[in-house]
Amino acid sequence: MSPAPLPPVAPEVLAEAVEQLTARLRKKLDAAVAECAGKAVTGSGGTVEVRFGEDTLVTLRPGPSGAVTEPGQAVCSCLLAPRCLHRAAVLGAAPLADADTVAPAVPPAPESPEGTPPPPVAGAVTASPAPVATEEARPSLTPAQVDAAAGLWLAAAEALAAGVTAGGTVVQAELLRAAHSARLAGLPRAEAAALRVVRGLRTARERHRGQRLSDLTAAFRALLAGAAALASGAAGPEGAGTARRAYAEGGSLRVLGLCREPVLSATGYGGVTTHLLGPEGALYTVSDVRPGGVSRAKGAGTASVALGGAVLDHAGLARGGLLIAGATVSADGRLGAGRGVRATPVRGADWSQEPVAAFFTRPVREAVAASLDAAAGAPGEAGPALLGCDVEVLGAADDHLVARVLDGGPLVRLRVAHPHPELPHAENLRRIGGFPGVVLRVLGRPDPDRAATLRPLAVGPVPGASSTLRLPEEWRGHADLGYDRLQGDHFPRPEPGTAPGTSGAAGRDPLADAPLWRVRRLLETGVAGGRRAVAEAARGAERTALGVPLRRAGLAGAAELAEGLAAEADRRPRDSFGRLVDASPDAYARAWLASAVHLDAAERALVTASWS
C-alpha cells in the first residue's frame, strides 16, 4: 500500500498531546517523529493510519475541514493512550493546520467599571468616537490579552535560546500552546506570527531545499517584537489583529488591470493575484489562492474572476478593468466578493495611457522609500508595494540583469521574482538579458534585503522609444512575466556590433560594503544554534573583531547592541551554592531583539539610499 500524506493538525491538539507526555517520553519524541516518515496509509472511512510494530496503530480521523481539530480525532491502540509517545509522534509529524480551518475563538468581554463601555474587540466595526486629547482615554488591551502575550513572549524566548538544533517537537509544542492561548485571548496576529516560527523551525530541521535562515530570523524578530509590544500594552488593541480579513465598504470603484502574479506558498497553496489600479493611484488586488501548489498557480492565471458576477478571467482582468458597485475592501487593498458586490467589465488602459502611465512617472527613490516603509509596518508576510519605472537593460551579470533607470536614475539589478522552474519568470529574464540596450517599462517589487534590486512582475514598451518591446496587440501593452512567454520577435533587432548580453557590476553596493553582515551572521547563528552558539561565536578575540569594524564604519549603535548580545549569551549565573545554572532566556531574547530591530532599520536605510 502506497504511503499517504498526514492530514493537517490543529496546533492546540499537538500541544496538548506533548504536554501529556512524561519527561522520559519527551526525550524520545523527536526520534519517534522521524520514525513516522512514510508510514502513513489510507484507512477505511477517510482515516489515516500509522503503524508502530505489530500491535500499535495510530488512527487519525480528520473532520469536515480535512484537519484534525479535536483530540478525539487522534487515537492510539496502545495501553498508554492517549498519553502515549505514538500518538504525539504522529501528530508532531503532521503539518500544522492553517488558522482558517480552526473555528475562530471569540475573546471574553473584558470587565469594565459601571457606565464605561468595554474596549472593542479587534476587527469589530464600530462608530468612530470623537478625538479625545487625554492619553487616559486611549483604549487598552484586556488583562487576558496582556497575559497571553507575556506567555507567548516567554515561549518565543525559550525557542530562540534553543535554536534550530534544539528546537524539536517539545519546544515547538510549547510555542503552539502559547499561540493557542493568544488566539483564545483575541490575538490572531500574534498567533499567526508564532505559527510562522514553528513552520520555519520544522523546515530548517528537515533541511528542505527552500529553507532560508534569513526568513526564520525575520519570523523570530516579528514574533518577539509583536509579543513584547502586546505584553507591555504599548501596541493597543490595533496590534491584536483580526481573526479573519475585515472588509469595509468602498462604495463605487473603477479599477484598471496592471498585471497578474502567480502565488506559491510554503504550505502547498497556489493561485494568482491580479493587481489593479484605482482612483488617485490606489492599488487593489483580486486573489484566487487554494491548495494545489505550482499546478494550481499555473492554471489560475486563466481562471474566472469570482467578483460580483463579472464575466472575466484573470488574464482578461489584468488587461481590462472593472466598474464595481458596493465594493468591499480590506486594509491591504484586497477586493471582497460579498453578496452586495456588483462588477461590470470595462475597457482597460494601456501602460502608456493615463491614469496608468502616471504610476510609472513617480521619482523612483521616493517610491522605493514609501514601499519599504509600508512593508516594514505591515504585519505578517506582506511584501513591499509595487513599483513602476522605465529602465535600459545593460546586460546580464551573474544571476541577475543590470539596468539603469532612465533620465539619470540609478543602476539597478533585476532578479527573478519567482524562481520556480515551472514558471516562466527566469526564462523571460534570461531572454531580456540577451538584448542589451533595450528599454523597458517595468512593474515589480523592490527587494528589501538587497541594494537597488527590483523583482519584475511584468514588462512593457516605453512610449516613444525605438529600441523597446514590440508586443502583440492582444497583450494590451504589457507582458506578465509569470504567465506570458517573451519570444525573439517581441524584441527590437540588435544594432550591428552590439555585444552579447553581458555587463559589469551594477555599481557600489552600500549594503555589501557595510560591516553589518557581522551582526546579521551573529543573529542567524543564534537562530540556528541557539544561545550557546552565539556565546561561542563571539567569545574572546572574536568579540573585539565584531565591534571594531562596526565602529570604524560609524555604526557604533550596532556595535554596542551586538556586543551586548554576545555578553548576555555568554553570561552564566550561579546559585547560592556557587553552582552554574542556566540563565533566564528573557534578557537574552531582549538583547537579540534589540540588535535585530536595529539591524533591520539600518539595512532598510542603506537599501533606500542605494536607489539614489
Look up cell 492599488; give the residue: 283
Q: H or E element: which one contains 608?
A: helix 585-610
Q: How far apart are CA 149 and CA 144, in angstroms?
A: 9
Q: Please answer whether residues 274 and 260 qualify as being in contact, where contact means their C-beta atoms are separated by less than 8 angstroms.
A: yes
Q: H or E element: which one contains 25?
A: helix 23-27
**How many CA atoms lie within 13 Å of 104's alpha carbon, on the beta-carbon side?**
15
- Please name the amino acid found at residue 604: R
Q: Please answer whether residues 611 and 510 qualify as being in contact, where contact means their C-beta atoms are separated by less than 8 angstroms.
A: no
pLDDT, position 260: 95
Neighbours of 268 (CB within 10 A): 15
Separation in Å, CA 261 to CA 275, 283, 371, 445, 604 = 8, 14, 18, 11, 25
Beta bridge partners of 403: 393, 412
Q: How far apart are CA 383 and CA 242, in angstroms?
A: 19
At residue 531, the 3 state secondary structure works out as helix
Q: Please answer whether residues 399 and 453 qualify as being in contact, where contact means their C-beta atoms are separated by less than 8 angstroms.
A: no
User: What are the backbone dihedrals phi and psi of residue 395, each rounded to the nearest 5 degrees, phi first?
Assistant: 145, -170
Task: Supply the pTM of this predicted model.
Answer: 0.82
Assigned C-alpha cell, 318: 489584468
Q: How far apart are CA 310 and CA 427, in angstroms?
A: 33
Q: How far apart are CA 185 and CA 178, in angstroms?
A: 11
Mean per-residue pLDDT pooled into runs of 10, the chain (612 residues): 80 94 94 90 89 91 91 93 94 85 47 35 31 43 92 96 94 95 92 94 82 90 94 78 70 92 83 93 90 89 83 90 90 84 90 91 88 69 82 89 91 92 94 93 92 94 92 92 94 66 58 86 94 85 77 92 91 77 87 96 90 85
pLDDT, position 468: 94
Q: How far apart are CA 9 and CA 71, in angstroms?
A: 10
Angle between helices 169-184 and 85-93 (to 10 degrees): 70
Q: Please answer whether residues 315 and 286 qualify as being in contact, where contact means their C-beta atoms are separated by less than 8 angstroms.
A: no
Assigned C-alpha cell, 292: 494545489
- Largest Cα separation within the chain, whole Å, is 85
